[in-house]
Amino acid sequence: MKERMDEIRELAEILKKSENIVFFGGAGVSTESGIPDFRSADGLWNEKLKIKCTPEQLVSHTFYMKYPEEFFEFYKSKLLYPDAKPNDAHKALARLEQMGKLKAVVTQNIDGLHQAAGSQTVYELHGSVLRNYCEKCHKFFDEKYILDSEGIPICDECGGRVKPDVVLYEEGLDQDIINASVRAIAAADTLIIGGTSLVVYPAAGLVEYFRGDNLVLINKSVTSEDRNADLVIHDSIGRVLSEAMQYIISI
Contacting residues toward Zn ion, per CB under 5 A: 134, 136-137, 139, 155, 157-158, 160
Q: Residues 114, 126, 138, 234: which is the catalytic one?
A: 126
Q: How far is the CB of 154 from Zn ion (least distance, A)?
A: 8
Number of helices (H) and strands (E), helices first, in the chain? 11, 11
Inter-residue contact 86 to 114 (CB < 8 Å): yes
β-pairing, 127-134 vs 140-141, is: antiparallel
Count of C-beta atoms within a 10 Å radius of residue 19: 11
What type of residue is 204?
A
Question: Of 137 and 200, which has the nearer Cβ to Zn ion?
Answer: 137
148/157 with CB nearer Zn ion: 157
Residues 6+ apart with CB under 8 A from 1: none
Report which DSSP code applies to 229.
-
Known active-site residue 114: no
Question: Least separation, in Å, of the C-beta of 131 and Zn ion?
Answer: 15
Nearest-approach distance from CB 152 to Zn ion, in angstroms: 13
Task: Give whichever of 134 and 192 is closer to Zn ion, judged by the CB atom.
Answer: 134
Catalytic residues: 126
